[in-house]
Structure 1
Amino acid sequence: MSVIKLPLLYEGTKGDARLVTLFDSGANLSCINSSFVAQLGGAAAFSRVKRLGTASNGHFIEIKERITLDFFIHDILLSDEFLVVPNLSEEAIIGAATLQKWRIKLNFDHDTVDVDPKVAILQLKKGEALAALC
Structure 2
Amino acid sequence: MSVIKLPLLFIGSKGEKNLYTLFDSGANLSCINPDFIKDVENPISLGRVRRIATASEGHYIEIKERVILDFYIHDILLSDEFLLVPNLSEEAIIGAATLQKWRIKLDFEHDTVIVDPKVAKLQLI
TM-score normalised by the chain length of structure 2 = 0.95
| Structure 1 segment 59-78 matched on structure 2, within 5 A | 59-78=59-78
Corresponding residue for 1:15?
15
Corresponding residue for 1:111?
111
Structure 2 unaligned regions, length at least 5: none
| Structure 1 segment 87-106 matched on structure 2, within 5 A | 87-106=87-106
Cα deviation, 1:75-125, whole Å, max 9, x if unaligned, reads 00000000001110000000000000001000011111000232132266x
Aligned-pair CA distance for 1:72: 0.3
In the alignment, structure 1 residue 4 sits paired with structure 2 residue 13: no
Structure 1 unaligned regions, length at least 5: 125-134
> Aligned equivalents of 2:37 and 2:50: distance in 1?
18
Aligned-pair CA distance for 1:41: 1.5
| Structure 1 segment 6-85 matched on structure 2, within 5 A | 6-85=6-85
**Letter paired with 2:70:** D
> Aligned equivalents of 2:42 and 2:70: distance in 1?
12
In the alignment, structure 1 residue 86 sits paired with structure 2 residue 73: no
Cα deviation, 1:35-58, whole Å, max 9, x if unaligned, reads 022111121001111101111111
Which stretch of the first structure deviates more once superposed, 112-121 or 76-85? 112-121
Aligned-pair CA distance for 1:70: 0.2
Q: Let me know the Cα RMSD of the aligned residues.
A: 1.1
> Aligned equivalents of 1:8 and 1:37: distance in 2?
13
